[in-house]
Structure 1
């Protein structure tokens, strides 16, 4: 039981690792080989930088959680380091990024399903299915954190099946010499290619902070959160490096850039029949990630409302401690975003939302690194993490990064509303 809020702590180490890995192993692993194929070997270097940078940032965030186990979420680290305005700005843009992430993952689930049901390529129908996915996972989370955690454990186990199949198939093809690996370019690695691919690969690893964000629901957070964060990040990063790079470098260019590169790989080196099964598992994987991120899209505004940074209406929970209002509002905003962009194709919508979500989330990582520096906590790691986050923010592009900054500024009217509400109650 959380003594400060009275809510039960239902997530143990296994559920925390499943939350971290489940939030990262989602749409990214199944679609990134297509996005990274044009970068060739530069993407391999991009993965190395991303995994290293993510581990450093994960370590910084985990240490901040141990220092402030009662903070109630990662955005509160920035509040305690630099004041309520800075904390609100980071918390607000992170909440928006979680909504963007959920929209992106729902679209990815629909895109993978379209390889089985081609009718979903029609933009309106694809958006409708994506909206249905959003509300199904919201309904699961409305039951409570325990139901969400059990769902996460089940979907994490299921989503590893297609990854294992591709990994074994890849090893067999390389061992037998049937797979033709793209040759290493004569000019070597290029800085532009590494930077661009690193911004894309980070999208796949977003979520390593998940256990810290849900600290309010974690048993023994000072022990379980750092372990779950580092274990989940390291294991996921290695899986991504091997599987995504293997597909991108061994599949013909035209096939690797398909909407379902995992299924294309299985069809090319095995048979079209199993490829449909792989696509089905990819949908399950996306829904598992969506379930975990839906948990966060309720916890983030809940913590901010309790801290007086958002209207108190969002602080309401039911008897199980579930932030019903925050979950419903977040899902409604995601639904409106999908409706507004329903005329776009699924691939175009996924790409735009992925870049915007990555840029928005990077502000949280920048803030956490700066908070660690303010508290003189793991200073070398904080400096490295800050440099990596700023470099990746630049690599994401001016338009997504600029848009995320404007969205961050757009939250201050709600902050002023919450402050006026607090003064009236005082």
Structure 2
């Protein structure tokens, strides 16, 4: 057994941590602005995401690839698609990581109110980013062990919040604030879906780190499904436990809803403990995401789609230069997206991250059906694959419709930008070979 490889239990906990750590700590505040009707957002998002999880596991079993859904889509649709999806997923990871850092600093502001100032918040976020970038250079094995511990702590806190919610629940709590969006019920549910879906980003994380996993054909599918189910249940418990425990007017303005709920129910000491534990959980989830974010760019570099320096690894098999370059970009975005509150900055960032994640998901869903047809499987013999892929595809398209127009515009501009970038990649590759531009076969 390779000591540097991640096993089933550790990978499941990493998957749970990646999903929960990416959004659960601020999502209750975002959803509170919509109202308790957002429970339907969780349900619809859960069904759609479960179908995505099934598609990812089927791809891992049928067409294993060390780069997961990115490599699988590339094998199906060709090198440009793989290039575009590698860049897209890479951006998803590091933009999402910025939102995660902002969440962590929001909880730090529970102890240091000066961090509520946008400029100080940006400075603190940058310091935390660089600290955990250096820590990520230690490698995946160390990271997974840290996340195993912090994920268990997170599960304990979420269960405690659920118990507090039951204890403090009063009849009429949810009905009194059922729809606070000012929109129709269907529109209100749609507004919540993007935030709920954000909480599950990282679902595919197990598959895109296949070269870091023991027995990936077995380990990745189990960890993906188990991690999703655990995360889904915990998200609902946390959201509505807090909703029942904390007065509505405090919840909608909170930058640390977990800690504020604990403080309100059990007193300042409990609030301090939950705030401190949340900070630890958030930033060690960040540590795992930093390792994850380096993988798409590394694989693309190994295939000649990005400069070789993006794939160069250190003694711990971590692409160090890759991580450092990304940290520079992330630092710039932290200051470029400064907003009046942590929740607002978080909301702006997740819209872009959700869009750039949806694009790889749609290609992955389509790839499953194409691969099955190419293998000569009859339609009647792949009914479950078709059903899951169809539901997942409809869900992905629907999520895109819930993103604000400005977010869609930025996302589409990014996708279009990959076309001239890929042209440059082809030119550079063929110049290095000293020959004419060769046709790239799909």
Counterpart for residue 139 of structure 1:
134
Corresponding position: 1:370 with 2:337: no
Counterpart for residue 207 of structure 1:
202
Which of 407, 421, 424 lines up with 1:400 in the alignment?
407
Conservation of the 8 A alpha-carbon contact between 2:310 and 2:322: yes
Which of 406, 409, 423 lines up with 1:416 in the alignment?
423
Counterpart for residue 4 of structure 1:
none
- Between the aligned partners of 1:113 and 1:416, the Cα distance in structure 2 is 44
Corresponding position: 1:83 with 2:78: yes
Q: CA deviation at 1:158?
A: 2.6
Does the residue aligned with 1:29 lie in a helix, a strand or coil?
coil
Conservation of the 8 A alpha-carbon contact between 1:18 and 1:153: yes
Conservation of the 8 A alpha-carbon contact between 1:30 and 1:262: yes
Does the residue aligned with 2:202 lie in a helix, a strand or coil?
coil
- Between the aligned partners of 1:398 and 1:131, the Cα distance in structure 2 is 29
After TM superposition, the structure 1 = structure 2 runs for residues 187-336 of structure 1, keeping only pairs within 5 Å, are 190-249=185-244, 251-257=246-252, 258-336=254-332
- Structure 2: give runs of 5+ residues left out of the alignment: 373-381, 434-442
Which of 43, 58, 62 lines up with 1:63 in the alignment?
58
Conservation of the 8 A alpha-carbon contact between 1:306 and 1:312: yes
Conservation of the 8 A alpha-carbon contact between 2:242 and 2:261: yes
Q: CA deviation at 1:323?
A: 0.9
CA deviation digits over 1:372-410, x for unaligned, max 9? 122237121111101001101111222212211211222
Counterpart for residue 375 of structure 2:
none
Q: CA deviation at 1:344?
A: 4.9
Distance 1:273 1:9, change over 3 A: closer
**Which stretch of the first structure deviates more once superposed, 63-72 or 17-26?**
63-72
After TM superposition, the structure 1 = structure 2 runs for residues 21-170 of structure 1, keeping only pairs within 5 Å, are 21-170=16-165
Q: Structure 1 stretches (4+) deviating beyond 4 angstroms? A: 184-189
**Which stretch of the first structure deviates more once superposed, 233-242 or 69-78?**
69-78
Q: CA deviation at 1:234?
A: 0.5
Q: CA deviation at 1:163?
A: 1.5
Does the residue aligned with 1:22 lie in a helix, a strand or coil?
helix
CA deviation digits over 1:207-239, x for unaligned, max 9? 111100111101100000000000000111011
Q: CA deviation at 1:242?
A: 2.1
After TM superposition, the structure 1 = structure 2 runs for residues 178-193 of structure 1, keeping only pairs within 5 Å, are 181-183=173-175, 190-193=185-188
Conservation of the 8 A alpha-carbon contact between 2:139 and 2:291: no
Does the residue aligned with 1:95 lie in a helix, a strand or coil?
helix
Counterpart for residue 7 of structure 2:
12
Does the residue aligned with 2:164 lie in a helix, a strand or coil?
helix
Q: CA deviation at 1:23?
A: 0.6
Q: CA deviation at 1:184?
A: 7.1
- Between the aligned partners of 2:272 and 2:58, the Cα distance in structure 1 is 43
- Between the aligned partners of 2:150 and 2:127, the Cα distance in structure 1 is 18
Distance 1:9 1:81, change over 3 A: farther
Corresponding position: 1:359 with 2:355: yes
Q: Report how many residues are paired.
A: 418
Distance 1:331 1:84, change over 3 A: same
- Between the aligned partners of 2:301 and 2:213, the Cα distance in structure 1 is 20
Does the residue aligned with 1:210 lie in a helix, a strand or coil?
coil
Conservation of the 8 A alpha-carbon contact between 1:312 and 1:418: no
Distance 1:62 1:186, change over 3 A: closer
* Two-structure CA RMSD over aligned residues (Å): 2.2
Does the residue aligned with 2:23 lie in a helix, a strand or coil?
helix
- Between the aligned partners of 1:303 and 1:95, the Cα distance in structure 2 is 11
- Between the aligned partners of 2:402 and 2:337, the Cα distance in structure 1 is 25
Q: CA deviation at 1:370?
A: 1.3
CA deviation digits over 1:122-162, x for unaligned, max 9? 21211111112211221122111211212221221232332
Distance 1:74 1:289, change over 3 A: same
Q: CA deviation at 1:325?
A: 1.6
Conservation of the 8 A alpha-carbon contact between 2:36 and 2:178: no
- Structure 1: give runs of 5+ residues left out of the alignment: 2-6
